[in-house]
Amino acid sequence: MKMFKHKHKKLAIATSITFGSLLIIYLGISIYFTNHFSFGTSINCINVGGKTVDEVNKEITSNIKSYTLVLEERDDIKEKLIWKDIGLKYNGDDKVQSLKENENPFYWIIGLFNKKKFNMPEIISFDEELLKKAVNNLSCFNDSNLIEPQNASLKYTENGYEIVESISGNKINKDVLYNHIKQAISTGETKINLESIDCYEKPQYTSNSKEIIDAKDILNKYISSKITYTFGEHKEVLDGSKISDWLKVDKDFKVAIDEEAVENYMNALSRTYDTYGGTRNFTASSGAAIAVSGGNYGWLIDSDKESEYLIGAIKKGTVTTKEPAYAQVALYRGDNDIGNTYVEINLTKQHLWFYKNGNLIVDGDIVTGNANSKHSTPPGTYQLVYKEKDATLTGPNYATPVAFWMPFNGDIGIHDATWRATFGGNIYQTDGSHGCVNAPYNLAESIFSNIDAGAPVICYF
């Protein structure tokens, strides 16, 4: 029992001595940290643990006088901002002293496990105007070095539309960069990677943008169209190589068809294939080759209607072979759209011939419009509009019944004129009609019985 008490007493004494020693050491260290910052303390990224206020002030001042901020730009370009160029200086003696005074020296041991980081931008100052000037003088803001960001685009190739990748460029948002520079200077950072702070202006659309992918699909659908127009033995093939010239893509990649270009295409087809009102080389009954111009006969494309169809067909990616929509058609397609069934009227000789399927059915003298009263029958190639039995022709101061009425040019037509005793010669010059072709009864009857609407009527001098 006595031995146990003796051992217990010795253990208590040893423990007391150990605790006392540790306490003395702790107090001694605490006294040290009365004038020194605790372990694990940093100010603006500078480790000040174990340093006095004077040492901290000197170190920060020294760091300022060697301070350089490196800007890491694209293409491995680096630029620097130097402390003296921006008027950088230290004015934090009192603030660092105040920070130390607020630190409890007895908590030094906590710093071994819990680091204290103080961000004190107010202890650093710089000249705002000098900084702006230095930033403006950076080469990345030199216009000669500037590469604007460019959106991805669409390019027509023999394989269809393809996406051309966007260009990132090197244009910098100056406000974003300037604010980061001020922050870095205030906190003592020595490097800024411009890519990581996202200060480069970006293209709005890249090759992965939904808008441009959708536009590409639409464009390729449009150019997949193939419309083959037939004009008798002639053909005009409209495919992607031409359609691509009509397609427009706006800045937001909305696709549109140039309607004016479509209309111009239709007008070009009209100029090539329309014969309406054109000049025709005609072999007269006399065997003479004559050129007859004007009139209302011939092929005439309905450009408005066909343009509307074509725009819709392109949007559907249509592949088809067709004739265009016509406002008027002739009887035949080819170099000679008159064919071999027609009425020939020689206004000089005052004579008419009617051919059907190449055979002369009837001919005879006639009387045409009165030349002296400015009612001459106009030359040209016309189309018989219709034929009517027992019609009444009306006009200023007259109403004349006729047995056979065959209009081909407005109110001008072929009809019988039983009130006339003679035809041909020069009658038309003084006693001609109001423009109509007056024919003997039998001549008018023969034509009426054999002709159909749409047949050409050729009038010439």
Which pLDDT does position 39 carry in this prediction? 82
Candidates 36, 140, 180, 436; catalytic one? 436
pLDDT at 82 over 90: yes
| CATH label of the domain that carries residue 287 | 3.10.20.800
Q: Does the residue 173 lie in any domain? A: no
Predicted confidence (pLDDT) per residue in 187-235, tens digit: 889 999 999 999 999 999 999 999 999 999 999 999 999 999 999 999 9
Q: Does the residue 52 lie in any domain? A: no
Q: Please state the three-class secondary structure of the chain as a single string.
A: CHHHHHHHHHHHHHHHHHHHHHHHHHHHHHHHCCCCCCCCEEECCEECCCCCHHHHHHHHHHHHHCCEEEEECHHHCEEEEEHHHCCCEECCHHHHHHHHHCCCHHHHHHHHCCCEEECCHHHEECCHHHHHHHHHCCHHHCHHHCCCCECCEEEEECCEEEEECCECCCCECHHHHHHHHHHHHHHCCCEEECCCCCCECCCCCCCCCHHHHHHHHHHHHHHCCEEEEEECCEEEEECHHHHHHHEEECCCCCEEECHHHHHHHHHHHHHHHCCCCCCEEEECCCCCEEEECCECCCCEECHHHHHHHHHHHHHHCCEEEECCCEEECCCCCCCCCCCCCEEEEECCCCEEEEEECCEEEEEEECECECCCCCCCCCCEEEECCCCEEEEEEEECCEEEEEEEEEEEECCEEEEECCCCCCCCCCHHHHHCECCCEEECHHHHHHHHHHCCCCCEEEEEC
* 315 and 352 assigned to the same domain: no
Q: Does the residue 366 lie in any domain? A: yes
pLDDT at 1 over 70: no
Which pLDDT does position 103 carry in this prediction? 82
Q: Does the residue 107 lie in any domain? A: no
Q: Does the residue 289 lie in any domain? A: yes
Most confident option among 35-44, 180-189, 441-450: 441-450
- State the residue range of the domain holding 389: 342-460
* 420 and 453 assigned to the same domain: yes
pLDDT at 460 over 70: yes
Domain C-terminal end among 328, 357, 384: 328
Predicted confidence (pLDDT) per residue in 400-443, tens digit: 999 999 999 999 999 999 999 999 999 999 999 999 999 999 99
* 354 and 449 assigned to the same domain: yes
Which pLDDT does position 392 carry in this prediction? 96
Predicted confidence (pLDDT) per residue in 41-58, tens digit: 888 878 888 888 888 888
Domain C-terminal end among 304, 328, 352: 328
Q: Does the residue 103 lie in any domain? A: no
Predicted confidence (pLDDT) per residue in 281-336, tens digit: 999 999 999 999 999 999 999 999 999 999 999 999 999 999 999 999 999 988 88
Q: What percent of the chain has pLDDT over 70?
A: 96
- Average pLDDT estimate for 130-150: 95
- pTM for this one? 0.74
* 376 and 310 assigned to the same domain: no
Domain C-terminal end among 279, 304, 328: 328
Which pLDDT does position 4 carry in this prediction? 52
Average pLDDT, the chain: 92
* 255 and 226 assigned to the same domain: yes
* 290 and 238 assigned to the same domain: yes
Catalytic residue check, 436: yes
Which pLDDT does position 15 carry in this prediction? 72
Candidates 140, 180, 415, 459; catalytic one? 415
* 310 and 361 assigned to the same domain: no
* 323 and 347 assigned to the same domain: no
Which pLDDT does position 245 carry in this prediction? 97
Predicted confidence (pLDDT) per residue in 95-112, tens digit: 888 887 788 887 777 766
Domain tally for the chain? 2
pLDDT at 239 over 70: yes
Q: Does the residue 242 lie in any domain? A: yes
| CATH label of the domain that carries residue 448 | 2.40.440.10
pLDDT at 35 over 70: yes
* 268 and 348 assigned to the same domain: no
* 311 and 352 assigned to the same domain: no
Catalytic residue check, 140: no
Query: Quick one: pLDDT band at residue 3, thresholds 50, 70, 90?
Result: low
Q: Does the residue 299 lie in any domain? A: yes
Which pLDDT does position 8 carry in this prediction? 63
* 456 and 357 assigned to the same domain: yes
* 309 and 354 assigned to the same domain: no
